Amino acid sequence: MDGVRHIAGRALARHLGEWRGDRAGSAYLQLAERIKLLVLDGRLPLHTRLPAERELAVALGLSRTTVAAGYDQLRETGYLHSRRGAGSWTTLPEGPVERALTAFAPAGDGTALDLAYAALPAPAEELAGALRTAGEHAGHYTRGSGYQLLGLDVLRDAVANRFTRRGLPTTREQVLITCGGQQAIALVLGTLAAPGDRVLVEHPTYPNALDAIDRRHARAVPVGFPTAGWDLDTFGATVRDAAPRLMLLIPDHHNPTGRCMDDGQRHEMATLGRRTRTPLVIDETVTELTLDGPAPTPFAALAPDTGSAPVITVGSASKTFWGGIRIGWVRAAQPMIERIARTKASLDIATSVLDQLVVTHLLDELEPVLRRRLPMVRGQRDHLLALIARRFPGWVSTCPAGGLSLWVDLGAPVSSILVAAASRHGVLLAAGPRFGLDGAFERFLRLPFTLPEARMELAVERLATAWLSLPGGTGWPGTPAEVA
């Protein structure tokens, strides 16, 4: 399929970022390798028409022969398809694709150490119990059509109760059940943003949200992070300059940085939204995973919804329980819920009744699940921090008070090539630029602390081997230390 997407030479050059890991290596091979990475990790969508060789050569300051040889290499390896006179499109090779980086890769064959996702295995006992109870209650629903656009009342009540217990009084009418948090984000974007609209995001941010913005043909406007907290001044200036249609924020254990917004900044951000009449979409997918200190205050509890500046909260069962049950939700004022529900109706009509029943029963088991899960994740986080301090003393990471990952400064712009090398050593990761726009964050790596200790140790050892295999790898500040 020849797609309609096209990327210009200058834009591709920006995406490529620091693509020459080794000045002494063949430029055409490095160029081909980097374009392949962009395809594999979803930054360059499939069926995108690449710039003509001459255009890319000018944008990169290379000879046309080098670009042509790079494109030849991509064609030979199955990542580019060309038609004479029409152009060249990104594609994937036939057969099993090297599962390096893509967010959509199969989750491994059991031998790979999968850190491409920041997600935990299911709580086996509670899930088994919830499946049994869901089965017992299913009969009540199977007598009806099974289509319930807004979700089952029992689950809407359970989600509303959880908000209420967290300090945000909520009723069933304010809750729409979705197929996962990602669908919730896409539905909100589909309802509020039109093609061409600007959506203000933190930078870095959750990559599938960036993809959802892209799919809506809206434009993400990034605001970077200062050393600590959120940069409210820049948020204010950017809202003034860019007049975004909405802001999409992850204040609770932000993915990937792990930051948590304090109440003062929540107030300020809410005021900014109200003052500029900018809707705030608050992604609380990770909110239950507080590892240190008090749980965050629900953002919407500090930001009364005024209608002209709605506060829409997105949540999910994926991090609290399991990503394999595709249940999420949207919380907003009832008229907004009804608008978003109309978008859902056009998309998939309703959410699986059985999955909803399972989550309804899992929510009854929230306390015991978290009582076991949080100390385990805290231990894994501390263990990973200790491993890194010992093996990669040049890497810099803060200790996040929640969530599932570290955001590590590698000390050198090598994230993509490191991730590619790591996949050859059986460790699957998402490179830093997956979390940003235009090739940013090549110096950063998201490292989930989701594996048990022994497997995490193996992953870090393999990462050290992968690093040492990089061209010039021993000369960078982040080089692994010798261990006795």
Ligand X SMILES: Cc1ncc(COP(=O)(O)O)c(C=O)c1O
Q: Where do contacts with ligand X occur on this chain (CB under 6 A)?
A: 118, 180-182, 206, 250, 255, 283, 285-286, 316, 318, 323, 328
For ligand X, which is the closer residue by CB, 13 or 447?
Answer: 447
Strands 405-409 and 427-429: unpaired
Minimal distance, residue 348 CB to ligand X, in Å:
14
For ligand X, which is the closer residue by CB, 182 or 278?
Answer: 182
Minimal distance, residue 47 CB to ligand X, in Å:
24
> The tokens of 172 are what?
């069933």
User: 468-477: long-range contacts (C-beta < 8 A, 24 or more apart)?
Assistant: 469/421, 469/424, 469/425, 470/21, 470/414, 470/417, 470/418, 470/421, 471/21, 471/22, 471/24, 471/25, 472/21, 472/22, 473/414, 476/394, 476/410, 476/411, 476/412, 476/414, 477/394, 477/411, 477/412
Minimal distance, residue 371 CB to ligand X, in Å:
22
Closest CA to 330 of 212, 163, 217, 120: 163
Letter string b/e over residues 415-452, b meaning 16 or more CB atoms within 10 A of that residue's CB:
bbbbbbbbbebbbbbbbbbbbbbebbbbbbbbbbbbbe
Distance CA 184, CA 264 (A): 27
- Contact by Cβ (8 Å): 409, 396: yes
Minimal distance, residue 118 CB to ligand X, in Å:
6
What angle (nearest 5°) sits at the alpha carbon of residue 409, between those of residues 102 and 104?
Answer: 10
- Contact by Cβ (8 Å): 190, 216: yes
Distance CA 75, CA 69 (A): 10
Minimal distance, residue 107 CB to ligand X, in Å:
13
Minimal distance, residue 257 CB to ligand X, in Å:
11
Residue 420: in which H helix or E strand, if any?
Answer: helix 415-424
For ligand X, which is the closer residue by CB, 123 or 323?
Answer: 323
For ligand X, which is the closer residue by CB, 174 or 318?
Answer: 318
375 contact partners, CB below 8 Å, separation of at least 6: none
For ligand X, which is the closer residue by CB, 79 or 322?
Answer: 322
For ligand X, which is the closer residue by CB, 33 or 283?
Answer: 283
For ligand X, which is the closer residue by CB, 318 or 397?
Answer: 318
Minimal distance, residue 283 CB to ligand X, in Å:
5
Minimal distance, residue 255 CB to ligand X, in Å:
4
Closest CA to 103 of 119, 116, 90, 112: 116
Minimal distance, residue 100 CB to ligand X, in Å:
19
For ligand X, which is the closer residue by CB, 328 or 439?
Answer: 328
For ligand X, which is the closer residue by CB, 50 or 286?
Answer: 286
Distance CA 328, CA 465 (A): 39
Minimal distance, residue 286 CB to ligand X, in Å:
6
Minimal distance, residue 449 CB to ligand X, in Å:
14
- Contact by Cβ (8 Å): 409, 446: no
For ligand X, which is the closer residue by CB, 70 or 402?
Answer: 402
Distance CA 484, CA 482 (A): 7
For ligand X, which is the closer residue by CB, 298 or 478?
Answer: 298
Neighbouring C-alpha atoms within 13 Å toward the C-beta of 380? 26
Distance CA 269, CA 303 (A): 9
Minimal distance, residue 351 CB to ligand X, in Å:
12
31 contact partners, CB below 8 Å, separation of at least 6: 16, 19, 60, 62, 66, 67, 70
For ligand X, which is the closer residue by CB, 30 or 297?
Answer: 297
Give, as one character, the DSSP assignment of residue 388. Answer: H
